[in-house]
Structure 1
Amino acid sequence: MKHDDIYLRIQRRLSDYDTFEKMVRKHFEINYFSFVYQSLYNQIGYEDFINKKFNTLDFKSFLVHHNFLELVNEVYRTRLSLKGTENVKSCLQEVQDFDDYENALMIFEQCNPRDYKNGSTLCANAWSLGTKLLHFYNPQENPILDSVLRDNLQIGNMNAKLCIEFRKAANDFVSDNDYFFKEFLKSPEIKSVLDDRKMIFDFSKMGCLIWHYMR
């Protein structure tokens, strides 16, 4: 599916600011993942989403020394095998530039070997995990794409092309609707919900759009 078609599906789901805010409130009221997200952002050091972002060298070091791949795999239940984890960690160190999203994503192709009782081995793709890990490299520009989002938007089966086209569509939508996020920061209703949860306004735009408001 082309990014223009995906954009229209996002737009239909988030047709105006009131709908956007309603979905914000609903997420915070019924979903525990806002706690998880904010905790991960803060622990990584994203106190300032505008001026803070990993570079390739620092991200490689972070992945090696802090078991972050394993954490993401467990938190999001992406079921990467032990062999797959070792393989991905090794491949991640070979990435030349994590800002080159398409090339970085491709290391998750057939990266997850699984042995079967009949002696055969299947090397599965791990696109969903790839989008999650790359989101934490750059939360402002890299969206997460998982089965829930695909089902909600009805955009088809997961593959590398879909991840890339979805990223383009999500960034276009965020750019075209920047006022959503400015209004969100001023909303007394959202502030009240966050205050009740002892949380702060500390989410990236892409994190807000993809994880919180489309589930």
Structure 2
Amino acid sequence: MQIAPSILSADFANLERELQRIADADSAHVDVMDYHFVPNLTLGLPIVEALQRVTPIPLDCHLMIDDPDRWAPAYAEAGAASVTFHIEAAADPRSLARDIHAAGAQACMALKPGTAFAPYEELLEVIDMVLVMTVEPGFGGQSFMADQMPKVREVREAIDRRGGRIRIQVDGGVSASTIEQCADAGADVFVAGSAVYGADDAAAAIGELRRLATACVHH
């Protein structure tokens, strides 16, 4: 069970310090937005390169951008441990996953809440993780969409059926009150923004989220 705090909820003027606050998490979730795929603009490659130089934990880059086929491999080259592209935006996801792997990162595909998983099940052959969005991508602090849990279950069943070792990540409104539903459904990587960065003690919040998730054994 991995906790990946989202720096979308961090203090952007002090990102090095904010990464240190989450040093005992499994990775730092970095939300890249381009004002096209989503109606927000956050940070891009130069900031990721700077974060990579100072981060105590691996970077997990979530690219909410158009044309990831063109832009995503550069994030792997910059040192991100994992690069997530949106399936809705990728022209050739198989080839993109190959390019991300060739650049040294894990490849992950993300699904918006309105996107069905079934048409993309075959891509489990080439990716390392599936991100099921539990809010509409674009902004932090939104409330959790429990109606995405059947999709998480569907992905878990498909992975189990294929015998793969593919992780399932959930992102959006994940907190102490929602993480157990996600773990029960089969998720094993949890992105939490305000639940960690809004806490007085980020390390304690990470520990509590991990404890709650671990207590839910997959059925």
Per the normalisation by structure 2, the TM-score is 0.29
More strand by share: 2
More helix by share: 1
Per the normalisation by structure 1, the TM-score is 0.29
